[in-house]
Structure formats: C-alpha cells, structure tokens
Amino acid sequence: MADRVDNVEEEIHIAMVGKYTGLSDSYLSVIKALQHSSYAVNRKLVIDWIESAELDDESAVSDAEAHANAWEMLRAADGILVPGGFGKRGIEGKIKAAGYARENKVPYLGVCLGLQVATIEFCRNVLGMEGANSTEFDEDTPHPAVVFMPEISKTHMGGTMRLGTKPTPFLVDDCKMRRLYGDVDHVDERHRHRYEVNPELIEQIEGAGLRYVGKDETGQRCEIMELDDHPYFVGTQYHPEFKSRPNRPSPPFLGLLKAATGQEV
C-alpha cells in the first residue's frame, strides 16, 4: 500500500467547508478518513480549506477578495465536505455550500451539522420555507428544520449529548449508503449531537426527494440522508470518520471520493 500511495500522481480536490480551517487538527479524524478513501480510489488527496464565513453574503461586502477566492475554490472542487461543528458563526456559508452542491450535482458529504445544514437549505430553497433554520441558530425561526432533541438538557452541555456507538437500521433496500456498507441491515456508528431533523417535517421533506434512508431504532430520528437524482448527496447524523482505517475506509467517505472521481456509487 505504501508504494502505491507514494506513486500516485492524479489529484482529487475536496473542499472542506468549516469554521476552524486555520486549525486543521480540529478535523484530524475527518482528514484521516479522506486519506484512507483516497488510497482506495488511487488518487492523491488535496484538501482545499474554505472558511465557511467567506462564502456568505456578508463577506462579499466585508472582504470581497476572500469571498471571491472562497467561491472560486468551491467551484473548482471535485467534491464538497461539511464536517461536524457547533455555533452560529459561518453557518450561512455552510448552507450555501450545500446548496451549491445540490444544484450543480457536485458530490457532497455532510457529517452531523453537515446533514443539518443540507436539510435547512433544502427546506428553504426546494420547499420554499423562507427563514427555515435550526433552533440552535434561531430560536424564533418560522420553519424549524432542525430542533433540540427533547430528552437532552440545554443546561448541561457536555454530559447530556447523544453520545457513543448506536445502531442505525436501514429503512430501504435500494440506496447508495446501504450498498456502500455492504448491504447490511444496520450500521453501528458513533454519535455526538444534541440537535436533530424536525420529525414533524420529515414526510414533507421526503416527498420532495430528500430521503432519510436510515433512522434510529424508534424509526423517528433521522440519521442517514440521501438526495434522489444526484450522483452523491449524502449526510450522516453520526460521525463515520471515527471508525475509518487505512485498509477499511469509512463507507460514506469512500462514496464521496468514488463519486468525485466519476465512479458510480
């Protein structure tokens, strides 16, 4: 494997859209998962770091050059990844990145918050829910696409998150993610979140083509997302990067890089 990796010349560019891009160690597990998948598709990985705030409309005024450079980098990418995170800063830029990937059929993987921003974008721009948002960022949003999980405490932030390895059953037989995982009935992946897709909107969202093909054991909590009629527009509420290994790349990351190299997933 080492010889093969050292001799790879053809590059694959993945745009990493986040708010800690100046501290790449913040995304160390995500970087490793991308590297593992790049070995499998025989490409030299190039991560193009994009500060998400530089994609939003405000940055076009406050720093036009940075805004233009960020969008140029996003448009040139073979695939787009929005990793997990917390907090409002840069969230509109992440939403715009998800929208660009959806509209232009660019391979997209959203992890945790990345799934949530893709859902928010879909509600706003496909379902016409003006002002749709997560209650994490706007408690008064007229269309709460993402909401606080009812069993989680808002006052004890660390110990009351939904944490650890949990099963996610697949609800459909034919979907990209199930094939990537080897046609298993369920996956066991690690979670770290306190917000979820609003269960009251699931039927409406799925009716428009954004499917939640994997849910928790109650069948209510959305954990795997796929968009119909797109080469690869996928989100996971869990963090698949934590179980990736050089000889066993994480299936969602592998799917992203396969799609980004033009392979059918």
Kindly report the CATH number assigned to the domain that includes residue 27.
3.40.50.880
User: Domain for residue 167, yes or no?
Assistant: yes
**Predicted TM-score of the model (pTM):** 0.93
Average pLDDT, the chain: 92
Domain count across the chain: 1
- How does pLDDT run across 44-102, given as a tens digit for each residue? 999 999 999 999 999 999 999 999 999 999 999 999 999 988 888 999 999 999 999 99
The pLDDT, as a whole number, for residue 164 is: 72
Range with the poorest average pLDDT among 76-85, 150-159, 212-221, 237-246? 150-159
Range of the domain at 37: 2-260
Residues annotated catalytic, as ranges? 112, 239, 241
Confidence check: pLDDT of 158 > 60 = no
User: Domain for residue 237, yes or no?
Assistant: yes
Distance CA 220, CA 225 (A): 13
User: Domain for residue 265, yes or no?
Assistant: no
Distance CA 19, CA 66 (A): 14
> Using CA of residue 85, residue 88, residue 89, residue 91, what is the dihedral sign?
positive
Distance CA 111, CA 240 (A): 8
Token pair for 38: 């790049």
